């Protein structure tokens, strides 16, 4: 059974941008939207570009869905579900994430 893991502090997050954390051998991209007080966690691997780069993508929203766009070829991934907007057959892992007393916590679910 997975558990919440402390990853970093909220100050380590990059407002309106992303960072990457290593959690149980997994690369997890963490995105922070301070205005909405929202944090999102997706796997850092871009399945289209084949590289660990999603934490370095631009974030925003498309038709109300919060998204990150890949820095390589600009595909969008839903920050909550990991579903690719351009190709719904492609989904990347999305992780539960929360902020507790200023610390960022992620729960890794192993397949």
Closer by beta carbon to another protein, 79 or else 94 = 79
Q: Does 49 bind another protein (CB under 8 A)?
A: yes
Q: Does 83 bind another protein (CB under 8 A)?
A: no
Closer by beta carbon to another protein, 58 or else 83 = 58
Q: What are the Cα distances from residue 65, in Å, to 21, 34, 59, 84, 109?
A: 23, 16, 11, 11, 23
| Dihedral sign (CA 110, 64, 7, 105) | negative
Rg (CA), the chain: 13
* Interface with another protein (CB under 8 A): 7-8, 12, 14-17, 19-23, 27, 30, 33, 35-36, 45, 49-53, 56-64, 66-67, 69, 71-74, 86
């Amino acid at each position: 059974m997975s558990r919440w893991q402390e990853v970093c502090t909220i100050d380590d997050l990059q407002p309106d941008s992303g960072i990457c954390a290593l959690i149980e051998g997994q690369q997890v991209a963490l995105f922070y939207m301070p205005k909405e007080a929202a944090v999102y966690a997706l796997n850092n691997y871009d399945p289209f570009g084949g590289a660990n780069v999603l934490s370095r993508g631009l974030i925003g929203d498309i038709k109300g869905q919060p998204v990150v766009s890949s820095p390589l070829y600009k595909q969008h991934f839903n920050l909550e579900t990991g579903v690719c907007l351009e190709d719904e057959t492609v989904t990347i892992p999305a992780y539960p994430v929360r902020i507790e007393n200023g610390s960022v916590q992620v729960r890794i679910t192993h397949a």
